[in-house]
């Protein structure tokens, strides 16, 4: 994964700043060296002129006097060379004892001073020279001044820059990081809000900062996009709700008409069979339409729920009773156990959820199998766990079975007649009650569906019992 944008921004900013500072530092050092050398030249050139004029006019004593007067700098020296480059006289620093110019340089010199840098006995000097004529003989006067003070100044500034550069970079990195963090804060907040917006609560919007910049523009664009998505989702939910609602009446009419037709005695056996199978299909369609309507209402947050004390243990017992024939037909034993488990909510809807779960457990258990429906209480929570010894649900699909129209094995569930909406409804209803539902593996095989809801006090005077209040057995055992 790439580093966060603020890290990359700070790194780029630092790299750029380091280049700029290195460039500026190099320029300052070079400029300082050049300026200080110029200053040395400005005093060395007239000094050489003066020594050369004095020597040309009055000879060696004047050369000495003038040198002593004008070469006051630390480590300065002067000398007179004959045309072959030998030293005739010298003054000052010991470097002037030997020729300060090479023999090849002397013939090219004229009466105007020529100036250059050079190394004399390992030290850095500025050397100026010009030709003079004394008693008809061409000679060369050389003066030199040490560049050590220039080098020292340049070195000191270089050290200062080398110390200041990392410190400045460090301070800039901290400030850059802080600025980048501040700049990214509204975006981080937007990401947090956008991540929390799911299909269940499309109503939320990201906060638009009170600025007129790109971040505010992005927030407005995201909100407009969410508006459009919500319009589409709302329209789709309304379509499902309206269609389901419209289908309810004709289906109920069809069912009544089929019931009336089936009551007639003169029906031939094949006609009766067709009518009975049609009625079964109509029943199934009515159940699916009811399920779709429940889900559409839950999506619109308009699922109406009663708020009354509900004993989940009693609801489970009732569900088992209603599915007794169904369980017997499958040859599955259904066992209920556990203490009363009081919560508050809608008994009809919760009863429907439990019937769905027990119905699934029976449907998916093999003949001779066993389903256990156990109510339980815990701290602040009550619930029911339905265990079967059917094929179970692969771990990777345990979340997906709660999706609408999801079936693990389509061919098998087609035979069992499921629509794939039962568990989606169970989740919607349980969550609307502030609870949760999950499936786990049952031991040694099969699945264990658990619904958990907030606990509520039992209505009426408190009863002193802890043992199971009922134990119900249904089906074949």
- The footprint of ligand ADP (CB under 6 A) covers 356, 360-361, 364, 388, 390-391, 393, 401, 406-409, 413, 418-424, 447
Between 100 and 320, CB nearer to ligand ADP: 320
Q: Which residues, 6+ apart, have CB-to-CB distance to 52 below 8 Å?
A: 130, 132, 141
Of residues 333 and 361, the one with the C-beta less far from ligand ADP = 361
Q: How far is the CB of 281 from ligand ADP (least distance, A)?
A: 15
Residue 283: CB minimum distance to ligand ADP, A: 14
Closest approach, Cβ 356 to ligand ADP, in A, equals 6
Residue 396 CA to chain centroid, in angstroms?
26
For residues 287 and 293, what is the distance between their CA atoms, to the nearest angstrom? 10
Query: Smaller CB distance to ligand ADP: residue 344 or 349?
Result: 349
SS3 384: strand
Nearer to ligand ADP, 29 or 408 (CB): 408
The packing angle between helices 347-364 and 422-432, to 10°, is 150
Which lies closer to ligand ADP via its Cβ, residue 180 or residue 439?
Answer: 439
Least CB distance to ligand ADP at residue 320 (A):
15
Measured from the CB of residue 459, what is the shortest distance to ligand ADP in angstroms? Answer: 31
Pairwise CA distance, residues 406 & 474, whole Å: 29
Q: Smaller CB distance to ligand ADP: residue 315 or 437? A: 437
Nearer to ligand ADP by Cβ, of 43 and 413: the residue is 413
Tell the smallest beta-carbon distance from residue 416 to ligand ADP (Å): 7
- Picking from 97, 94, 62, the residue whose alpha carbon sits closest to that of residue 79 is 97
Is the CB of 134 or the CB of 349 nearer to ligand ADP? 349
* CA–CA separation, 149 and 75 (whole Å): 10
**Separation CA 26–CA 160 (nearest Å):** 13
CA-closest candidate to residue 86, choices 73, 99, 96, 76: 99
Distance, in Å, from the CA atom of 470 to the CA atom of 312, rounded to the nearest integer, reads 12
Q: Which of residues 6 and 374 has its CB atom nearest to ligand ADP in the complex? A: 374
Q: State in angstroms the smallest separation of the CB of 319 from ligand ADP.
A: 14
Tell me if 279 sits within 8 A of 310, measured CB to CB.
Answer: no
Output the smallest distance, CB 418 to ligand ADP, in A: 2
Smallest gap from Cβ 449 to ligand ADP, in A, equals: 7
Q: What does the block give as tokens for 92?
A: 């000052």
CA separation (Å) from 307 to 297, 339, 349, 432?
A: 17, 22, 11, 12
Four-CA torsion 116, 117, 120, 123, nearest 10 degrees: 160
Strands 123-134 and 381-387, by their bridges, are unpaired
Phi-psi region of 76 (alpha: psi -120 to 50; beta: other; left: phi over 0): beta
Q: Which residue is nearest to ligand ADP (CB)?
A: 418
* Closer residue to ligand ADP (CB): 143 or 371: 371
CB of 266 to ligand ADP, least distance (A): 37
Min CB(424)–ligand ADP separation in Å: 6
Q: Tell me how far the alpha carbon of residue 63 is from its chain's centroid.
A: 81
Query: What is the CB neighbour count within 10 angstroms for residue 32?
Result: 16
Reply yes or no: is the peptide bond before residue 157 cis, omega within 30 of 0: no
Type and span of the H or E element at 108: none
Could you please report the per-residue DSSP string of 159-205? HHHHHHHHHHHHHHHHHHHHHHHHHHHHHHHHHHHHHH--GGGTT--
Shortest reach from residue 439's CB to ligand ADP, in Å: 8
Q: What is the DSSP letter of 2?
A: P
Give the tokens for residue 457.
Answer: 């006090």
**Closer residue to ligand ADP in complex, CB, 70/336:** 336
CB of 118 or CB of 391, closer to ligand ADP: 391
Q: Which is nearer to ligand ADP, 309 or 391 (CB)?
A: 391
Q: What is the Cα Rg of the chain in Å?
A: 50
Taking the complex as a whole, the smallest distance from the CB of residue 345 to ligand ADP amounts, in Å, to: 20
Token pair, residue 29, equals 């050092």
């Amino acid at each position: 994964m790439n580093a966060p944008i603020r890290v990359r921004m700070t790194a780029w900013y630092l790299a750029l700043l380091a280049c700029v500072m290195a460039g500026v530092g190099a320029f300052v050092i070079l400029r300082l060296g050049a300026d200080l050398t110029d200053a040395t030249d400005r005093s060395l050139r007239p000094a050489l002129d003066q020594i050369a004029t004095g020597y040309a006019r009055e000879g060696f004593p004047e050369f000495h006097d003038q040198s002593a007067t004008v070469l006051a700098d630390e480590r300065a020296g002067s000398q007179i060379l004959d045309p072959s480059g030998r030293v005739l006289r010298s003054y000052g620093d010991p470097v002037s004892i030997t020729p300060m110019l090479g023999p090849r340089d002397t013939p090219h010199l004229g009466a105007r001073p020529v100036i250059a840098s050079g190394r004399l006995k390992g030290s850095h000097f500025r050397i100026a020279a010009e030709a003079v004529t004394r008693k008809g003989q061409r000679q060369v006067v050389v003066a030199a001044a040490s560049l050590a003070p220039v080098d020292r100044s340049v070195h000191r500034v270089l050290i200062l820059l080398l110390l200041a550069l990392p410190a400045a970079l460090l301070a800039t990195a901290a400030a850059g990081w802080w600025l980048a963090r501040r700049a990214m804060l509204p975006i981080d907040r937007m990401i947090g809000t956008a991540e929390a917006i799911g299909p269940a609560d499309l109503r939320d919007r990201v906060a638009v900062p009170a600025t007129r910049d790109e971040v505010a523009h992005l927030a407005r664009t995201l909100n407009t996009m969410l508006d459009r998505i919500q319009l589409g989702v709302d329209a789709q939910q309304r379509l499902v709700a309206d269609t389901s609602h419209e289908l309810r009446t004709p289906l109920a009419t069809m069912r009544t008409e089929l019931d009336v037709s089936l009551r007639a005695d003169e029906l031939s056996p094949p006609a009766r069979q067709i009518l009975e199978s049609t009625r079964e299909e109509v029943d199934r369609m009515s159940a699916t339409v009811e399920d779709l309507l429940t889900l559409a209402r839950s999506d619109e947050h308009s699922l109406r729920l009663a708020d009354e004390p509900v004993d989940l243990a009693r609801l489970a017992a009732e569900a088992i009773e209603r599915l007794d024939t169904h369980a017997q037909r499958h040859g599955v034993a259904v066992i209920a156990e556990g203490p009363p488990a009081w919560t508050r909510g809608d008994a009809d809807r919760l009863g429907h959820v439990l019937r769905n779960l027990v119905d699934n457990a029976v449907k998916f258990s093999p003949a001779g199998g066993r389903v256990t429906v156990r109510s339980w209480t815990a701290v602040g929570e009550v619930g029911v766990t339905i265990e079967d010894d059917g094929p179970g649900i692969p771990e990777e699909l345990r979340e997906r079975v709660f999706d609408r129209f999801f079936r693990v094995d389509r061919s098998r569930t087609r035979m069992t007649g499921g629509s794939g909406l039962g568990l989606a409804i169970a989740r919607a209803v349980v969550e609307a009650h502030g609870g949760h539902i999950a499936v786990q593996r049952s031991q040694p095989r099969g699945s264990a569906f658990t619904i958990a809801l907030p606990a509520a006090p039992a209505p009426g005077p408190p009863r002193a019992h802890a043992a199971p209040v009922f134990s119900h057995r249904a089906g074949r055992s």
